[in-house]
Amino acid sequence: MQYISTRDKGLKVTFEQAVKRGLAPNKGLFIPENFIKMPADFWANLNGMSLPEIGFQVGKQYVGDEIPENDFRKLCAEVLNFDIPLVNVKENIYSLELFHGPTCAFKDVGARFMARCLGYFSSQKNEKTVILVATSGDTGSAVANGFLNVPGVDVIILYPSGKVSEIQEKQLTTNGNNITALEVNGVFDDCQALVKTAFQNFDTQNKIKLTSANSINIARLIPQSFYYYYAVSQIKRSDSTICVPSGNFGNITGGILAMKSGLPVEHFVAATNANDTVPQYLKTGVYTAKPSVQTISNAMDVGDPSNFERLNEIFGHSSKTFGETISSYSFTDAETRAKMKETYDKYGYILDPHGAVGMLGIEKQLAGSNKPGIFLETAHPCKFLDVVQKSTNVTPELPEALKACLGKKKESIKINNDYKELEQLLKDRYL
Ligand SMILES: *Cc1c(COP(=O)(O)O)cnc(C)c1O
């Protein structure tokens, strides 16, 4: 499989090049040159297939022979070493629980897959890769954990001191080994600016490769299609509608890739919070990026979703074609809280605020129908403890993965919001 850029159809690169570059030239995004088509025997065997096997079968269509089959099978087994169960919440509505990974959010899947692909390519060339990542919380922990103990790769996380939750800070600072947390005396934007300056100015003298683990990387997108096959294999129906709580629209793009490969799904719904750029686009046919507004489902506070560019390409730049496959609705925080409360009171199921937006979306789409609906539950409710407690009066139990890191000692290096300090640290370590 080759990859093309959304902004330059003439450019074709290998999977390895697309993963290493992250962003295509002209700030385009890499997309597969063609949609994959899964073969008949895959569909015949899908029911009962394990998640790692699905990852292997689907992933190898994208990776081709760039990673040998045995290595790739092992890679998929390491990435997908936790379950993604489909849980019946009520009547015909199911929750696909994507939060059973090490950092309890769906970004684990993409971050772990990307980490191991990059680790594989580095080890083949005996290169040392250093990932610099600025985080406001969740992405950093998924990336850090994804790269933990991956040979040939170091991760340096920059996070704003005092601006992340206690659980998030523990997740960022207790990994050890090849992960270093820099606690920056500043805000998230300062962390991001420091990383950007390092990419522009730090001369690695070719000793190391400095790279980012940006969410638009194709190696984070591809594995986000795996669990859609797994969901359909569990529901054993070909007429389900799937609702994805969406921010940057990467998760739903994974679903669309799965559908284009032949996955039997009737329709998709992209549910958003008050950041309603895409619902407005489908209503008016005009895409207007907006500044983001803060909500209780804050991982979706995005006013200009980065993967819109990929979806727009997939749907031929037509809002009509887009809308034939994806409906999109926006929900308020009040609706989200009420849905969390109702779902706990009536069905004993604790939603996180993102999953609640997903449930609102699937119920709106399927109102009056008894066909099956699946929403993606993208984070464990305990990651949003405050909102969950206030909305439902219940305290969700901490999963083992989070309990374990809460007990560990925080280790961070404090730096000022000063590029010279970051540069010195990189020089001391790598030159
Ligand atoms: C990132 C994130 C989302 C949004 O996913 P996109 O791929 O950006 O649409 C939803 N829920 C949670 C918990 C997230 O961390």
Dihedral Cα 168, 354, 224, 406, nearest 10 deg: 20
Spatial contact of 3 and 313, defined as CB atoms under 8 Å apart: no
Q: Which of 292, 280, 354 is nearest to 322 (CA)?
A: 280
* Model pLDDT, residue 237: 95
pLDDT of residue 192: 87
Nearest CA residue ID for atom 2, ligand 1: 299
**Residue 372 — φ and ψ, nearest 5°?**
-75, 145
Is the shortest distance between the CB of 253 and ligand 1 below 6 Å? no
- DSSP secondary structure of 259-270: HHTT----EEEE
- pLDDT for residue 138 is more than 80: no
- Ligand 1 pocket check for 299: Cβ under 6 Å: yes
The secondary structure of 175-222 as a DSSP string is: --TTEEEEEEES-HHHHHHHHHHHHHH---TTTSEEE---TT-HHHHG
Q: Is 339 within 8 Å of 360 (Cβ atoms)?
A: yes
Task: Say if ligand 1 is within 6 A of residue 138 CB.
Answer: yes
Structure tokens at 197: 């300056």
Phi and psi at residue 12, to the nearest 5°: -130, 135
Identify which of 107, 168, 244, 387 to mutate to test ligand 1's pocket (most ligand atoms within 8 A of the CB).
107
pLDDT in tens, 70-116: 999 999 999 999 999 999 999 999 999 999 999 999 999 999 999 99
CA of 423 relative to ligand 1 center, distance in Å: 32
By annotation, the residues acting in catalysis are 107
Instruction: Please indicate whether residue 185, judged by its CB atom, sits closer than 6 Å to ligand 1.
Output: no
Q: Is the CB of 97 under 6 A from ligand 1?
A: no
29-82 per-position pLDDT tens digit: 999 999 999 999 999 999 999 999 999 999 999 999 999 999 999 999 999 999
Distance 105 CA to ligand 1 centre (A): 8
Over residues 220-231, the pLDDT tens digits come to 999 999 999 999
Structure tokens of 361?
Answer: 């979306």
- Ligand 1 lined by 246 (C-beta under 6 Å): yes
Counting from 1 in the atom list of ligand 1, the atom nearest the Cα of 379 is 13
